[in-house]
Structure 1
Amino acid sequence: MLQANDIEHRFHLLEQAIGQASQACSAERNVPGELRDSVRRLDRHSDTAKEVLLSQDQPRIHKLMHDMERLSERARQVCINVPHLSAHMRGAVSYMHGQLMELKRDLRIS
C-alpha cells in the first residue's frame, strides 16, 4: 500500500476531479438527475474519505472505494448514454473516474 503522504496526494487529485465534475454539473443545462446525484454523492463521500483512507482500516477502505467506484461508474455510464452532454461534462466525469480508478489501483483494491 502507498505511504500516507502518497495517499493524501492521490486523494487530493481525486478531490479536485470531483470538484471539477461538480462544477461542470452546475454549469451545464439539462444534466440528468442520475448524473447530478452521482456526482453529489461522490462529493459527500470525499468529505469523509481522507479520514477513512488514512485510518488503514481495510474493510472500511474497501467499502468506501467500492461505493465511490459504483457512483463514478454510474456517472460515466450516463455520460456515455446521454448524447446532449457537452464535451466538458463528459471530460470532467471521465477524468474523475480515472482518478478514482488510479487511487483504487494504487491501494491495491480489486
Structure 2
Amino acid sequence: MLQTAEIQQRFKSVQQVVNQAEQVCQSDGSVPSEIRDCIHKIAEQAGRAQSVMQSNDQSSMIQAIDDLEAMGDEAKRVCTSTRPSPQVQSVIVRVHDELSNLKHQLH
C-alpha cells in the first residue's frame, strides 16, 4: 500500500498526463466529440480530486482514484470504437494506464 505522500506524488503525474491529453484534444480538430467529452470529464474530476488528495484521507483518496480509473476505462473504450489519430490514441492509452497502475498499487 502506498503512503499518503506517495499517492499525492503519483496523482500529480496523473494530472500531468490528463492535462496533456486535454491539450492534444483541444489542438486536434479531428478528435471525435465522444473522446473530447471523456477527457474533459476526467480533467474536471481530477480537478475535484485535487482537494481530496490534500485531505490526507486515504480512503477518500482511493475512492477518487477508483472513480477516475473507471472514467479512464470509458475513454479507452470510446477510443477503441472511434479510432482517432495515433497521437490521440496514444495519449488516451497513457491516461488510462497511469490511472490503472495507480489504482492497482492502491489495492
TM-score by length of 1: 0.83
Separation in 2, partners of 1:33, 1:6:
34
Q: Residue 64 and residue 4 in structure 1: after superposition, are their counterparts in 2 closer, same or farther (change >3 A)?
A: closer
Separation in 2, partners of 1:92, 1:63:
24
Deviation track 1:56-83 (CA, whole Å, cap 9, x = no partner) reads 252x345423321222111111211123
Q: Residue 75 and residue 29 in structure 1: after superposition, are their counterparts in 2 closer, same or farther (change >3 A)?
A: same
What is the RMSD of the two structures over their aligned residues, measured on CA atoms?
Answer: 1.7
Separation in 1, partners of 2:51, 2:99:
16
Q: What are the within-5 Å matches in structure 2 for residues 97-108 of structure 1?
A: 97-108=96-107
Task: Give the % identical residues.
Answer: 27
2:9 is matched with 9
2:89 is matched with 90
Separation in 2, partners of 1:103, 1:41:
19
Q: CA deviation at 1:41?
A: 1.1
1:87 maps to amino acid: P
1:49 is matched with 49
Tell me whether 1:81 sits opposite 2:57 in the alignment: no
Separation in 2, partners of 1:78, 1:50:
25
Q: Is the 8 A contact 2:31 2:85 kept in 1?
A: no
Question: After TM superposition, where is structure 1 displaced by more than 4 Å over at least 4 residues in a row?
Answer: none
Structure 1, unpaired ranges of 5+ = none
Q: CA deviation at 1:55?
A: 3.0
1:32 is matched with 32
SS of match in other structure, 1:29: coil
Structure 2, unpaired ranges of 5+ = none
